[in-house]
Every structure is written in structure tokens, then in C-alpha cells.
Amino acid sequence: MHLSRRRFGQLSLAALAAACARTAGEPDLLIFGGPIYTGVAANPRVEALRISGGRIAFAGALADARNGARAQEIDLGGAAAFPGFTDAHVHLTGVGQQAMLLDLVGVESIAAMQQRLRDYATAHPQGPIIGRGWIETHWPERRFPTRADLDAVVSDRPVVLERIDGHAVVANTAALALGGIENGTPNPAGGSIERDASGAATGMLIDNAASLVQSRLPAPTPEQQRQALAEGARLYASRGWTGVCNMSTAAAEAQFFADLAASGEMPLKVNVYLTPGDAEPVFERGPYVDDTGLVHVRGVKMYMDGALGSRGAALLRRYSDAPTDGLLVTPVEDIRAMLLRARERNVQIATHAIGDRGNRLVLDAYRDVFGGNAEALRAVRWRIEHAQVIAPEDLSRFAELGVIASMQPSHAISDLHFAPSRLGADRLGGAYAWKALLDSGAHLAAGSDAPVERGDPLIEFYAAAHRHDLNGFAGPDWHPEHTLSRTQALAALTTGAAYSAFEESERGTLEVGKRADVSVFSADLMEAGPAAIPRAQAVLTVSGGRVTHSTL
């Protein structure tokens, strides 16, 4: 492919795939013209990068980089380059599906939700309506939506609207009937059918209760799933991501990843964590990689508890604003049985745990399966996903046991508006405690949990290094001492994410011999004012030496 100096223009993913397939005999790639941060303490910033055969061939002075064979030059025009950003926790098909559903992100009230539902129902007059993205914490009504709110707009067909965290839905009466939910229906294990004072189901279904309805909805076709995954991957490359750890991956989705990689349509390095129900292939074979080397099936993603916003996160004592201590989504004995199989086959485990009780139970289970052998546990690099609320006495256990804290900085700047009321001031010291975990010696990997959050690396970096919401608000009790330095934030999204998938020798820094993954943004993340960071844009993404996105 011919890449002109200074300007690429917008290239479609198909065009990039076709161009990148013709690599034989192509010259090297030379990147210069802006600050280039390597992530290497001994050589933190260089003038130029030379990329050859998908690897970093040189990182240093521009004059030296230009020595040798002809290279295609990319002048950054002052934009700043960094090691390729990796999202350590994403649901990529969900990112693509977001564009195919009723989008409720940002609705500011129940009335606004009803209007979006009304407009969508008019435009889509047949079939069930599925939506996602609402969050009630800012609403003037100060309550969850109910089936009555939905029935007032659509009552003749099922409507199921998922909360942004993915741990609760609100369903209208038609959807409840589809799921066989009546006022006397018992709560399923690991779930809750919310009820009003009379005992009638309100339409709110928490955690496993949501599957009573969702399992009855028409499933997307394989082609729709593949299309959603391809769209999610395209969006991610356009935002500056070069790699992902894809969580809760179904068997069909894992195959779609491999198919897209084989056809040249996957612009990301992918590590896959299967759902427990689809885990047999990795238990039979152990971790395995596809023919392209782009898609590596690493392990299994499990759930211990629910989410904080819907009060499903399992706490050691009751919520400060409700008479519940949360939910255990998976019985502890089932988790332990899966862990024993994983140890036998050297399969990496990633377990969702948000509440302090959930985190303690996972740490205990990991420890017990290895009989207290911390070195053996450290070697398998088992992870806790989210690790949002940790009892002070458990913070040091991550480092002691070698458990990776896979955390999403944007959760802290979303949750700061309701977490204080859920937890009370005394539990906030162990909430979103990135710095305390790092200081204890734990490995920290950062991601986004998109589509729960937007999936923007700039927002994740901003949240980690500033700990204020996008309007600049943090609140008096939001523990600024847990804020990361910019260097630490960069590491969490690069070397930390690479380590979490056993890839630190291949990715995460711009060093000679490593895979050529480069993320370039319009703002210098190490120097810009905090408010400028989330307003910046990805202007160039290079993954494995391939230009997967450019606006230069």
C-alpha cells in the first residue's frame, strides 16, 4: 500500500485489509513529527519510530531512523504517539450491537426514556423492542423505571430495556408475560424480581432474573452477530485501541473473531475469555491461538456477584441505602469446581467481582484451589474483573496472591454520583482504589467494560489520572489519593493490559523487536490540561504494523 507523507485520508476497514494483505516487498514505515512516548523508563521519549515486518525496528533519533532502505514516512504534525492502548476488559460484539438497538445512553429522565421509546416504536412498528444504556442515578424521578412507565408507551409487544451496567432490565407487561413472570413467581438463584409494596412485580429484573425474559427474545442471526463484531472492531480501531481482552465470549463469537482475522478484517490483537457454558474447547485443548496469531483463546470469564448501581454487588454488610447485601450470581461451589478444572489445564480465569464480599470470596477461592501456593497462583495470572470495592484488609492480598486487578477507570467517574449513597462514607476508602493496589505491588490492568462505558481510551486515561467526571466534578469524599500519575495511567492501559494476557514481552512498550502497536492522539496526554484529554481524538492507529485508522 502506498502511504503518502503527512496525509492518509479516511480509509475503510475493507480497504485497509486489502492494502495490508499486500505486504511483500513493501518498504518500512517511519513515524515522526510529534512526541513519541515509548513507555520505557530508560528511553522514555524518542524522535522517530521505524517499523519493519510488523515489528519495531528502531526507536530513537530521526536522522538515524532515516538511515538505510527507503521507508514510507508519516509526519504526525505535532500529534503524540504512545504504545498501543489495549482494552483489558470489553464486550466487543456489544459495542457493535449498541448501534443496532434502541440507544438509551444519556436519557435524562423517565419521560425522556418514554419519548425515545415512542420514537423508536414508530420507526420499528413490528417485533419486540430491545434497548440498552439507561441509568437512573441523575433522573429527577429518583427511582427505577417500571413496567407501567413502558406500558404507557408500548403495551402490545414486548419491551426490554437494559440498564447501562448490564445487570438489570426493565420490562413491560407483555415482556413479563413472555417470560412467564407473575406476581407469585419466585426469584431465581442469583437474581431478583423487584416488587412493589403489594408484592406485584414492578418490571425491574436484577441480574439472573433478567434471563427469564431475555432468553425468550429472538436471538440475533449469525450474520447480525458477525456484523456487530466487525462494527465494534472498526469503532475500536478508530478510537485508538490496538488490542482487546474480550470478556464473556460465546463459542460462536470466538469463531467470528477467528473468521474476521482470517479475512483480514480484524484490526486488533484479541485475547478471548469464554463464558462458562462455552468453555469446553479451552478445557479440552488448553489455551490456543488461531492461524493468524491475532486471536488467542486464553481462558474463562465467570461472575461472582452483580453490579453496584443495581445493588447486586455482594457486600460484607448491607447497603447504606437499601435493606440488602447484594447477590451471588454464581454459587461459590460452582466457581471452585471451575477453578479446579482451570488449574489442571493451565487455563486463565477472569472473575467478575464488584462488592467487598464478592472480591473476598474470589480471593479466598483462588487461594484455596492452589492450597496457599502463592507462587503457583501468581504464575497462572488469574484476574479479578472490576475489583471495585475492596475491604481494607483485602487490598494487600492481590499482590500477595499474584492476582491481577483488572479495573475500569471510567467506572469511578460514572459511579461517583451514586456510590457514596450505596456504600456510605466509611467504605469509599476501598472503592476504585487503583493507587493503593499499585502501591501494594499488585498488577493493574485498565480497560473500559464497553458497552457499559463508551470504550474510549482517552476517557479511561483521563479518569485514571484525574478522577473527576467529564464535567470536572469529583465530590468531597472521592479519595483523590487513589488517582494515578499519568505515567501510571499509561502503563495500566499498555504494559498492565499486556501483562494481564501474558503479552508483556510482545506488546505494551515501543521497543526494538516488539510488535508494532502505536496509538496516536491529537493531544499530548502527558502534558495537556485534564479537560483537553477526553476532547482529543485518535488520529492514527497502527496494530502489528498495519495502519488500521488514520485522519492524518
For 7, the 3-state DSSP assignment is: coil
Q: Are residues 33 and 103 in the same domain?
A: no
What pLDDT score does 12 carry?
43
Q: Are residues 50 and 25 in the same domain?
A: yes
Is residue 132 one of the residues assigned to a domain? yes
Q: What is the pLDDT of residues 146-161, one digit of tens each?
A: 999 999 999 999 999 9
**Least confident segment among 17-21, 183-187, 338-342:** 17-21
**Least confident segment among 122-126, 230-234, 438-442, 526-530:** 122-126
CATH number of residue 6's parent domain = 2.30.40.10
Q: Which three cell numbers stand for residue 201?
A: 412485580
Domain residue limits at 164: 95-214
Backbone region of residue 117 per phi and psi (left: phi > 0; alpha: psi in -120 to 50; beta: other values) = alpha
What pLDDT score does 11 carry?
39
Q: Are residues 206 and 100 in the same domain?
A: yes
Q: What is the pLDDT of residues 70-109, one digit of tens each?
A: 899 999 999 999 999 999 999 999 999 887 789 998 899 9
C-alpha distances in angstroms, 202 versus 26, 146, 151?
Answer: 62, 5, 12
* Residue-averaged pLDDT of the chain: 93
Q: Which three cell numbers stand for residue 237?
A: 480501531
What pLDDT score does 25 carry?
56
Last residue within a domain, chosen from 149, 181, 214: 214
Pairwise CA distance, residues 309 & 71, whole Å:
52
Asked if 515 contacts 530 with a C-beta cutoff of 8 angstroms, the reply is: no
Q: Are residues 106 and 207 in the same domain?
A: yes
Q: What is the pLDDT of residues 113-122, one digit of tens each?
A: 999 999 999 9
Q: How many Cα neighbours within 13 Å face the side chain of 206?
A: 26
Which residue, among 55, 2, 36, 77, has the nearest Cα to 293 in the 3D structure? 55
Q: Are residues 70 and 102 in the same domain?
A: no
Q: Are residues 105 and 142 in the same domain?
A: yes
Structural domains of the chain, count? 2
Is residue 49 one of the residues assigned to a domain? yes
Which residue, among 317, 403, 324, has the nearest Cα to 364 in the 3D structure? 403
Last residue within a domain, chosen from 214, 246, 263: 214
Q: Which amino acid type is present at position 531?
A: A
Q: Are residues 28 and 70 in the same domain?
A: yes
Sequence length of the chain is 552
What pLDDT score does 173 carry?
96
DSSP 341-376: HHHHHT-EEEEEE-SHHHHHHHHHHHHHHTTT-HHH
Q: Are residues 10 and 61 in the same domain?
A: yes
Q: What is the pLDDT of residues 1-32, one digit of tens each?
A: 223 233 333 334 444 444 444 344 578 999 99
CATH number of residue 163's parent domain = 3.10.310.70
Pairwise CA distance, residues 411 & 422, whole Å:
14
What pairs with residue 207 in β-bridges? 191
DSSP 57-116: EEEE-HHHHTSSS-EEEEE-TT-EEEEPEEEEEE-HHHHHHGGGSEE-TT--SHHHHHHH
C-alpha distances in angstroms, 231 versus 62, 93, 228, 309, 383?
Answer: 36, 8, 5, 28, 28
C-alpha distances in angstroms, 3 versus 22, 26, 428?
Answer: 13, 11, 50
Q: Are residues 67 and 116 in the same domain?
A: no
Q: Which three cell numbers stand for residue 118?
A: 415512542
Q: Are residues 54 and 113 in the same domain?
A: no
Is residue 127 one of the residues assigned to a domain? yes
Pairwise CA distance, residues 236 & 220, whole Å:
22
Sign of CA dihedral 400, 302, 271, 469: negative
Asked if 386 contacts 356 with a C-beta cutoff of 8 angstroms, the reply is: no
Write a three-state SS string for 439-492: HCCCCEEECCCCCCCCCCHHHHHHHHHHCCCCCCCCCCCCCHHHCCCHHHHHHH
Pairwise CA distance, residues 108 & 114, whole Å:
11
Q: Are residues 200 and 123 in the same domain?
A: yes
Q: Are residues 75 and 107 in the same domain?
A: no
Q: Which three cell numbers stand for residue 211?
A: 434471563
Last residue within a domain, chosen from 186, 214, 242: 214
Average pLDDT, stretch 409-427?
Answer: 96
Question: What confidence category does residue 372 fall into, taking pLDDT thresholds of 50, 70 and 90?
Answer: confident
Q: Which amino acid type is present at position 508?
A: G
Residue 426 burial (C-beta neighbours within 10 Å; 0-12, 13-18, 19+): exposed
Beta-carbon contacts of residue 487 (< 8 Å; ≥ 6 apart) = 526
Residue 108 burial (C-beta neighbours within 10 Å; 0-12, 13-18, 19+): exposed
Where is 49: in which H helix or E strand? strand 45-52
Is residue 392 one of the residues assigned to a domain? no
Pairwise CA distance, residues 456 & 239, whole Å:
6
Q: Rounded to the nearest 10 degrees, what angle do helices 457-466 and 486-493 cross at? A: 140
Higher pLDDT, residue 186 or 16: 186
Asked if 217 contacts 160 with a C-beta cutoff of 8 angstroms, the reply is: yes
Q: Which three cell numbers stand for residue 178?
A: 413472555
